[in-house]
Structure 1
Amino acid sequence: MLLGSFTMSISQSSISTAYPTLMQFFGIDASTVQWLTTGFMLIMCVMMPVSPWLLNNIKFKQLFLMILAIFDIGTLIVVIAPNFGIMMLGRAMEAVAVGILFPSYQSVLLYITPEEKRGSTMGYAGLIMGSALACGPILSAIVLHFSAWRGLFIVFMIIISALFVISLFAIKDVMPQKESHLDITSVIMSFGLIGILYVVNMIGKANIDFTLAIVILLVSILMIVVFVIRQFTIKQPLLQLRVLKNFNYDLSIGLTGASYIALIVVTVIFPLYYQNVLGVSKTISGLALAPGAILLSLLNPITGKLADKIGFKLVMLIGMTMILVGWGTLSIVGASISLVPMMILAALIEGGNAFVMMPAVTMGANSLPKDLISDGTAVVSTFRQILGSTGVLVATLILSNVMTDNVSRGMSHSLAQQSGYHVVFITFFVIEIIGLVMALMLKNTKQTKIK
């Protein structure tokens, strides 16, 4: 499970390094190629709420093999894609697999692990998810240095194919089956998430049809409202949203989202800063994330054990403080920092993520009865993905709009870029302040659980 999650997580963050190559190969612009990541995230968000139903109605071994097969076929389609449209189809299939796997493997780990040991276990899960996300641009930079862009996906396909064969013998059915009706209406209504994020992605772009955008946004919001109401009113909801009645669980959603935003924005925005402001190569910009990825990997198992010993609140306060110091330094100094200090600040932010993201997921699970763990994990994963996707979109929009505005006012392109990055740094510093406040509001997770 962990190897599959690691590979699929890398596939999520690694492709951005290949954007320039893909733009040239397919003859597309930057806004089009970005859909390889944006579309991926949108489809993931829709599939995550379905994962509890799949876990309850399909034996885990069969489900895991199905996930691997879907991802493998999707990757094969990407490798042989003759045009961008076919490549997007392959990426969509990859996203379906990842959207099901991420909450599912966390649910399984939490279910089979005693509550007093969950922090340690989820520390290793955090190592896989966090370090894979951070390692994506690094692996991409190395592979693209020695091969064409297809080589990157061939690597993924080889690993997943080997894992499929191993899983035929190694994976066991560990989750109890609770057959239930799949509420198709809820599935359809959940597509409102795609509409909302699609409109957010349109902000700041040229030649927007505002009437169409407003209609899509209103319809999407209505769909989500219907989805939420339906989960509280039908006998067999797609997703048990009553987990949100637990305040500590709600805080865990906010904290895992805040830490994930910090991590994914670093992995996407920092390589762009290295290339555009500091003028380093794609290879160096990817490798510059290595210290942060290494620190994140080393800290995740430690923070999990630490949470079991000294409590989740203190661990997460440490993490949010590290993240806040990183973004705070960037917001004060501005976008005129050289490569090595930027690498140190990136490592500080990524290290802080190790103290927050998976401890928050574990704390949320500890606030719930065992039979709601899969639903709780799906809700956390969905919100985290939505917040992470929105964070990347917001960072990209700020960067683009501030640069365009400054250039139109007569500022040089170089200074306009630096100003854009500085506004991004300030924005995410403010966001992480909210994360620190949430950590301060945490209560002892052993006090109450949903009945």
Structure 2
Amino acid sequence: MTVNEHAAAAGGGTESLEHVKRMPILISLMIGAFFSILNETLLNVAFPELMIELGVTAPTLQWLATGYMLVVGVLVPSSALLVQWFTTRQMFLGAMILFTLGTLVCGTAPHFAFLLLGRLLQAAGTGLMLPVMMNTILVLYPPEKRGGAMGTIGLVIMFAPAIGPTLSGLILQSLQWRWLFYLVLPFAVFSIVFASIYLKNVSQPTKPKVDVVSIVLSTIGFGGIVYGFSSSGGADGGFRVYGTILIGAIALLLFVMRQLRVKEPLMDLRAFAYPMFTVTAILLIIMMMTLFSTMSLLPFLFQGALGMTVFASGLLMLPGSLLNGLISPLTGKLFDKFGPRALVIPGTVFLVVIMWFFTRVNLDTSKATFLVLHICIMIAISMIMMPTQTNGLNQLPQRYYPHGTAILNTLQQVAGAIGVAFFIGIMTTGQSKYLAQSSDPKAPVEMAKAMVSGVHNAFLYGLGFAVLALVLAFFIKRSQGQAKPTS
């Protein structure tokens, strides 16, 4: 299939893709995505300073993170509709303008309410960014060349949040917290200018019917689940956690039932009729839970058991996270050449072995060992995530592209929120059981051993998920695109 034929199949019509230069479009998307995704992890290190300067408590300040995740979780499901209502340029520039405005509000915020407003505007821009980026790649590149392009996008997706905490730590050593936003602002403006010049429309809006009921159910469903699980780490649970999760689950069930009935669904769940897409969705849930559990558990282990500082633990995890992003383009090219099985099966085997090693760590384990283990697990995840995602989306017909990207991005948000709550809950339970049997539970050494025991329990569950991923990997077959759904 030629580029022009692919454009026609993709419903293009705004302009032919035959003479469109792909690289400037890809660069435009990457610049905007990098700085919007960077802000997901850039601010967390500044929380202690913000509590003092803004005069708020930790639970109140936590809304800067919870609210961010909540807006992204609510917006992503609706992106399937928005992508079909607006052009590529309108969606991307709209997302970046929202993000830039939010960054400006954050940097100049006189008090907490304005800072929260700015974070929510940033989240709105970020929530629209990933679906636009992935949908553009699907339309712009034919299936046999998507692996390399998706791998390049994967570099940004993994590199930006990995460098966030370390970069903010360096900035905060000599500058005020507002500079976390001031330094991002010129790059965000540059992204808007660059995209205005080079970003082209790659698909034609079809403007399907807006189903308000589906939007409301989606917002309550995904919003309730993401908020409930992301809030479950707090001291108080009750209705705020379990009630919102229950309400979200009921709304989500009603949402699914409605999507299968209406003629023009907000998120077409018939994409799950394609077997490789279904396998992809399950594997991505497992990978996101594994990734978020590792990113959450290791700082507890490093700081709570090994006595490392926040900055030192961030530096220890930085090489693995950076390498995960840097090898994504390589895994993308290998996917194009050899298909998914050559990467996903060895990757899941590698993941099982590394997760087993994590269940064996103790207080005597060296920092070098932790460094190597973290690098290895991030390489394994890189071998699995982007090739799996590309292969699953490749099987879908063009009309399902917006829905497929929205489904996968939504599942990743939900899996991340659930994964953090699930694994930290297991760690806390294991920690409490150890201390309950200890003769001196308040002794520092015993508390450190309790932390290790809790982390062991959590990684044992992680090992179980890794084994499940390995089983699923053997069901993966290379997608050639435009496959017929299973009955």
Q: What TM-score, normalized by structure 2, do the two folds share? A: 0.86
1:100-179 equivalent positions in 2, closer than 5 A:
100-179=128-207
Shift of 1:208: 3.4
Tell me by how many angstroms 1:12 deviates: 1.2
State the partner residue of 1:341. Answer: 369
User: Counterparts of 1:215 and 1:115 in 2: how far apart (Å)?
Assistant: 43
Cα deviation 1:14-52 (Å, max 9, x = unaligned): 333333333343444444433332332222111111112
Return the letter of the residue paired with 1:163.
S
> CA contact under 8 A between 2:324 and 2:379: conserved in structure 1?
yes
Q: Offset of 1:319 from its aligned partner?
A: 1.9
1:133: Cα distance to partner? 2.4
SS in 1 for 2:204: coil
Q: Does 1:234 align with 2:262?
A: yes
Structure 1 stretches (4+) deviating beyond 6 angstroms? none
- Cα distance in 2 between the residues matched to 1:318 and 1:32: 44
Query: 2 CA distance for matches of 1:115 and 1:349?
Result: 28
Which residue of 2 is the match for residue 35 of structure 1? 63
Q: Which runs of 5+ in 2 are unaligned?
A: 1-28
3-state SS, counterpart of residue 289 of structure 1: helix
| Counterpart position of 1:445 | 479
Q: For residue 198 of structure 1, what is the aligned residue in structure 2? A: 227
Query: Which residue number corresponds to residue 386 of structure 1?
Result: 414
Measured on the aligned residues, the alpha-carbon RMSD in Å equals: 2.3
Q: Conserved in 1, the CA contact under 8 Å of 2:151 and 2:328?
A: yes
Q: 347-356 vs 214-223, which deviates more? A: 214-223
Q: Read off the aligned partner of 1:125 and give its amino acid letter.
A: I
Equivalent in the alignment of 2:238: 209
Change (3 A) 1:101 1:335: farther
Change in Cα spacing, 1:127 to 1:406, as seen in structure 2 (3 Å) is same
SS at match of 1:288: helix
Determine if contact 2:317/2:374 at 8 Å carries over to the other structure.
yes
Sort the Cα spacing of 1:268 and 1:139 in 2 relative to 1 into closer, same or farther, 3 A: farther
Is 1:93 matched up with 2:108?
Answer: no
- Unaligned 5+ runs, structure 1: none
Corresponding residue of 2:91: 63
User: How many correspondences in the alignment?
Assistant: 450
Listed one character per residue, the Cα deviations across residues 257-315 of structure 1 (whole Å, up to 9, x for unaligned) are 32233333333433343333322333322222232133223311111111112210221
Asked if structure 2 preserves the Cα contact closer than 8 Å seen for 1:138 and 1:289, the reply is no
Residues 33 and 322 (structure 1), Cα distance of their counterparts in 2 relative to 1, 3 Å cut: farther
Deviations 1:301-335 (A, max 9, x none): 11111111221022111222232222211112346
Does residue 263 of structure 1 match 2:291?
yes
Q: Report the equivalent of 2:14.
A: none
Contact 1:186 1:238 in 2 (8 A): yes
1:432 counterpart = 2:466: yes
Out of 333, 350, 357, the position equivalent to 1:322 is: 350
- Contact 1:39–1:92 under 8 Å retained in 2: yes
Q: Is residue 298 of structure 1 aligned with residue 323 of structure 2?
A: no
Structure having the higher Rg: 2
CA contact (8 A) 2:279 2:476 kept: yes
Give, in whole Å, the separation in 2 of the partners of 1:86 and 1:408. Answer: 44
Select the residue among 30, 34, 42 that pairs with 1:2: 30
The amino acid that maps onto 2:408 is V
Closer/same/farther in 2, CA of residues 23 and 405 from structure 1, 3 Å limit: farther
In structure 2, distance between residues paired with 1:230 and 1:128 = 35
Q: Which moved more, 1:214-223 or 1:170-179?
A: 214-223
CA drift at 1:126: 1.0
What's the counterpart of residue 422 of structure 1?
456
Relative to structure 1, the CA distance from residue 15 to residue 324 in structure 2 (aligned partners, 3 Å threshold; closer, same or farther) is: farther
Q: Label 1:184 to 1:113 Cα distance change in 2 as closer, same or farther (>3 A).
A: same
**Segment drifting more, 411-420 vs 128-137:** 411-420
Structure 1 pair 441–198 and aligned structure 2 pair: CA distance change class (3 A): same
Distance 1:328 1:371 in 2: 42
Match for 1:233: what amino acid? R
User: What's the TM-score, normalizing by structure 1?
Assistant: 0.92
Structure 2 counterpart of 1:275, from 303, 323, 332: 303
Query: 2:283 matched to 1:249?
Result: no
C-alpha distance 258-208 of structure 1, shift in aligned 2 (>3 A): closer
Shift of 1:360: 1.4
* Residues in 1 aligned to 2:34 and 2:71: alpha-carbon distance in whole angstroms: 19
Partner of 1:309 in structure 2?
337
Query: Distance between the aligned counterparts of 2:56 and 2:424, measured in 1?
Result: 18
- The AA in structure 2 aligned to 1:343 is L
2:447 maps to which residue? 413
1:9 aligned partner, one-letter code: I
Q: Which residue of 2 aligns with 1:188?
A: 216
